[in-house]
A = this chain, B = another copy of it.
Amino acid sequence: MSWLRGVRAEVVHESVRRTGGVPEATVGRLPLYLRALTPLHDQGITNIASEELAALAGVRSTQLRKDLSHLGSYGVRGVGYDVDLLAAQIAQELGLTQEWPVVIVGMGNLGRALASYGGFSGRGFRIVALADDDPAVVGTRVEGLTVSTLADLATAGPTVAIGVITTPAPAAQAVADQLVAMGVRSILNFAPGHLTVPDEVDVRGVDLATELQILAFHEQRRLLAVPTSGQVPSEDREVAG
């Protein structure tokens, strides 16, 4: 993401005053466009047409153009979009010209996998703290950071903007409450279940079971639609559960 810094200055003037009015659906797709642009930059491609970029991102070109129009982005008619400039504009709109400090709470299997994941830094985020409440885990070092308790973080930790919850589900609400008390207003929750938070706090939930169940619904539909052919899931025989 460092390659975005260079062009940022030129971009600020154009779009900083254009505050409001980006539809939520568009916001959800901007990261996809940014994701598609990065390899283009790496390949040295400097210009791309909406048709092509849309294919890379998995959307229709008309939707891409409509989305970009909301952030006042100017491509060049007859030519396309400047890859670096477009990426810089999207990054600016998403607030990725600064690095957001992140805390991960719950250093279990998933929490450790996330902590050792390289995809944070360089994409607008930096893990600045790790937390757990298991005395056996607190104090250990993971990826160069010492695991502490949430309570300690609240009194003596670095400022954090985003909290990632990877504790078991029964602990998630209490953890969320503590994060909110610390001033965190953006939470990414991997524990299954709904979190109740004040209005000004933004929660996004990622639930593996939910995703698989949506896939299962469509899979079942396909099998029911053509009941004769092919593969059938493992039969529902007497199992442990």
Interface bracket on A: 35 or more
| Interface stretch of the complex, out of A132-140, A147-155, A213-221 | A213-221
Query: Are A119 and B236 interface neighbours, CB within 8 A?
Result: no
A228 within 8 A of B: no
Question: Do A194 and B57 touch (CB < 8 A)?
Answer: yes
Q: Quick one: which of A110, A216, A241 has the most chain B CB within 10 A?
A: A216
A:125-180 near B, CB below 8 Å: 125-126, 128, 158-159, 161-162
Q: Which residues of B contact A202 (CB under 8 A)?
A: 215, 218-219
Residue contact A126 to B188, C-beta cutoff 8 Å:
no
Q: Taking CB as reference atom, which chain B residue is nearest A220?
A: B95
Number of copies: 2
Separation of A192 and B36 alpha carbons in the complex (Å): 9
Chain A binding surface, main DSSP class: mixed
Residue from B128, B187, B206 in contact with A234 in the complex, judged by beta carbons closer than 8 Å: B128
The answer on a CB contact under 8 Å between B2 and A125 is no
Specify which of B31, B117, B161, B233 is in contact with A99 (CB 8 Å cutoff).
Answer: B233
- State A231–B157 Cα separation when bound (angstroms): 14
Contact indicator B122/A241 (Cβ below 8 Å): yes
Establish whether residues A231 and B159, one from each chain, have CB atoms under 8 Å apart when the complex forms.
yes
List 8 A-B pairs, minimum CB-CB distance, nearest first. Answer: A95-B220, A58-B194, A31-B210, A109-B113, A186-B215, A31-B213, A2-B241, A113-B113
Contact B30 A213 (CB under 8 A): yes
Beta-carbon contact of B236 and A97 below 8 Å: yes
A116 within 8 A of B: yes
Nearest opposing residue in chain B for A241, CB measure: B2
Q: Which of B96, B211, B219 contacts A206 (CB 8 A)?
A: B211
Q: Is the CB of B193 within 8 A of A35?
A: yes
Given contacts A101-B233, A159-B231, contact A215 B204 (CB under 8 A): yes
| Contact (Cβ within 8 A) B109 A213 | no
**Cα–Cα, bound, A143→B204 (Å):** 30
Question: Are B186 and A216 interface neighbours, CB within 8 A?
Answer: yes
A234 to chain B, nearest CB (A): 5
In the complex, 21 of the A-B residue pairs with CB atoms within 8 angstroms, ordered by the A residue number, are: A19-B224, A27-B217, A27-B218, A31-B209, A31-B210, A35-B209, A35-B210, A56-B194, A57-B194, A95-B216, A95-B217, A99-B234, A100-B219, A121-B240, A128-B234, A158-B234, A186-B218, A188-B211, A200-B222, A202-B218, A204-B214
